[in-house]
Structure 1
Amino acid sequence: MSDQRDDDVQRYQASIEARARALVAHHPELADDVEAYVLKERDECVVLETQTQCVTLMLERAG
């Protein structure tokens, strides 16, 4: 992955985590659900970073 894309992913994840902290500060009863969402987003980023590159390469080679 390129450095720019790494930076974008890190900024995106940091933004989600910051918003999650603010949300939990105002609504502590949502902490478990918000944490689950943050973890899901982290996992999705990993999938997008790895598996989408493979699919793109397959499509480029097939075309």
Structure 2
Amino acid sequence: MIVGRHDVICGVRRGRELDELIPDARLLILEDSGQPGHVEEPEAFAEAVRRFVLETSVPQGAAA
């Protein structure tokens, strides 16, 4: 879950709730963003997505 500190739609409070309810969830709070964190902090957003994909991907050739 990636949320912006200044997001009034699905902000930090909702992000923390989802983080607690979803098994193995990860929460990233973009400190300088509102709702469109991918626009306002694109580098941090992209790095978080990249890290998530690398850490959770099934190695090629492995059974899913």
Question: Shorter-normalised TM-score: what interval?
Answer: 0.3 to 0.5
> Which entry has the higher C-alpha Rg, 1 or 2?
1
Q: Which has the higher strand share?
A: 2
TM-score (norm 2): 0.33
